[in-house]
Amino acid sequence: MDEVQLLTRKINRLEKARVKAEQILEQKALQLWESKQELEKKVKERTQELEIAKDKAVKAQMAQKNFLANMSHEIRTPLNAIIGMAHLMSDYELNNQQKEYLNTLIHSANILQDLINDILDLSKIDSGKISVVNESFDLIDFLNIIKSIFLPQAKKKGLDFLLKIDSDIQNFVLADKKLLNHVLINLIGNALKFTERGSISLIVELHNRQEDKQYITFKCKDSGIGISKDQQEKIFNKFIQADKSTSRKYGGTGLGLSISKKIIELLGGTLEVASEISQGSTFYFTIPLTLSQEKSIIKTSPKKKKDKITIKQILIAEDNLLNQMYLKNLLNKWKIEYKIAQNGQEAIDLMASSEFDLVLMDIQMPTMDGYQATTQIRNTINNTIPIIALTANSFAEDREKAKQVGFSDFLSKPYNPNQLQELLLKYSR
């Protein structure tokens, strides 16, 4: 066979192989295209499924939030009546047995109120609704105010209350005063509760300074019953107290420390405990506080409070008969005249025909609610009269909305007589 023939055979074979390869490749390409189509379809289906699942989750979250708001409202309304009636009843001549029953009633209602507030706080923290709002303030002043709140209570139990502040700490800081306050009040409140003799100390030390921040350690130390090592690991969990007898003997919801721990985490620290049985406990945390300039602080020197209510005529807009009764009794006791509107529309009508010094306005009412009524009063009738929202809606959004439509103040139900009295004093001229 000569070379030309051999070459021809080779070329022939190569040509055939090429054609074959092209066929195979085209088939492969088709298969690839088909599986790509299939994949695209699957991705589309999965995406749709995910969107539906996401939608469901969002709706479930909304439902939960609404449920919480509604429950909060539904529980607060009757609780307001219970607390109110109990306070009114304490004004009567009662025998010792009756007084004891009444005290138990008020005590239990207060516990219930604390529990509702704690649950709401916790759910707000859990859903990330609490954010850190920094303001400038004088830390030393702030700590002294806390001392002045607890000193009388400590003395009443025969305990010392000591406040020790590191002299290296700079007074003026930028921090979330409300959250810090919440935690310190919780910790000192616990210390008071669980200490029968000895002292409670709030020790505030400078941990270190870094650029414009001072890291400050807060220690709340007591000489109380102490917490065993086992229990120390559990007490920061929700609804857990050191042991079952604790809740029977000392009361409380077991949510306070869980809330405080989460707040301290928000503030950039960790809440920890050191304790020995019958030696006392120390709760402590270190958080960064940004240094602030003294002059940027708006000194809110409290206005001289009036010692007498000068308000003479009040308009009450409230549809709940029990809450009406509570208010009527209080105002009668304080010798303040009032008119009652059953809803927002009636309130507006009354405003047009009579003179009032102040309005107490419920939010949820039939016919016309408190938001609409207040908007209308502000727009057309009276732009300056103090209008106070009395409501069982206590979410921050509710307060914000109340402020926007023109309410002057906000009193959340249940409230006790003192709280209302304070507000009336505030708006007395």
Partner 1 sequence: MKGVVFVGFFELVEKEFGYEMVDKLIDSCNLDSDGIYTSVGTYDHSEMVQLVTKLSEFSGIGVPDLLNTYAKYFGKTHLRKYESFYQEATDTFSFLESIDGHIHVEVKKLYPEAELPKFSTNKLSDNKLELLYSSKRKMGDFAEGLILDTADYYNEKIEIQKKNIEEDGSQVLFTITKI
Residues that bind partner 1 (CB under 8 A): 1, 6-7, 9-10, 13, 16-18, 20-21, 24-25, 28
Q: Which residues of 75-111 are buried (b: 16+ CB within 10 A; e: fewer)?
A: bbbebbbbbbbbbbbeeeeeeeeeeeebeebbeebbe
Q: Which is nearer to partner 1, 35 or 379 (CB)?
A: 35
Q: Which is nearer to partner 1, 27 or 47 (CB)?
A: 27
Handedness of CA 187, 193, 195, 199 (dihedral sign): positive
Task: Output the smallest distance, CB 37 to partner 1, in A.
Answer: 17
Q: Which tokens sit at 32?
A: 């690839």
Task: Output the smallest distance, CB 39 to partner 1, in A.
Answer: 13
Task: Output the smallest distance, CB 38 to partner 1, in A.
Answer: 14
Helix axes 3-89, 321-333, angle to 10 degrees: 50
Task: Output the smallest distance, CB 203 to partner 1, in A.
Answer: 58
Q: Which is nearer to partner 1, 9 or 107 (CB)?
A: 9
Q: Which is nearer to partner 1, 13 or 403 (CB)?
A: 13
Q: Which is nearer to partner 1, 4 or 298 (CB)?
A: 4
Cα 326 to Cα 188: distance, rounded to the nearest angstrom: 33
Task: Output the smallest distance, CB 41 to partner 1, in A.
Answer: 19
Task: Output the smallest distance, CB 68 to partner 1, in A.
Answer: 51
Cα 133 to Cα 179: distance, rounded to the nearest angstrom: 9
Cα 364 to Cα 65: distance, rounded to the nearest angstrom: 18
Task: Output the smallest distance, CB 6 to partner 1, in A.
Answer: 6
Q: Which is nearer to partner 1, 31 or 48 (CB)?
A: 31
Q: Which is nearer to partner 1, 26 or 160 (CB)?
A: 26
Q: Which is nearer to partner 1, 7 or 396 (CB)?
A: 7
Q: Are 157 and 230 in contact (CB under 8 A)?
A: no
Task: Output the smallest distance, CB 21 to partner 1, in A.
Answer: 4
Task: Output the smallest distance, CB 5 to partner 1, in A.
Answer: 9
Residue 62 to residues 59, 65, 74, Cα–Cα distance (Å): 5, 5, 18
Left if phi > 0, otherwise alpha if psi is -120 to 50, otherwise beta: which for 158?
left
Q: Which is nearer to partner 1, 34 or 74 (CB)?
A: 34
Task: Output the smallest distance, CB 33 to partner 1, in A.
Answer: 15
Q: Which is nearer to partner 1, 26 or 51 (CB)?
A: 26
Residue among 263, 182, 262, 172 at smallest CA distance from 213:
172
Q: Which is nearer to partner 1, 16 or 41 (CB)?
A: 16
Task: Output the smallest distance, CB 24 to partner 1, in A.
Answer: 5
Q: Are 204 and 216 in contact (CB under 8 A)?
A: yes
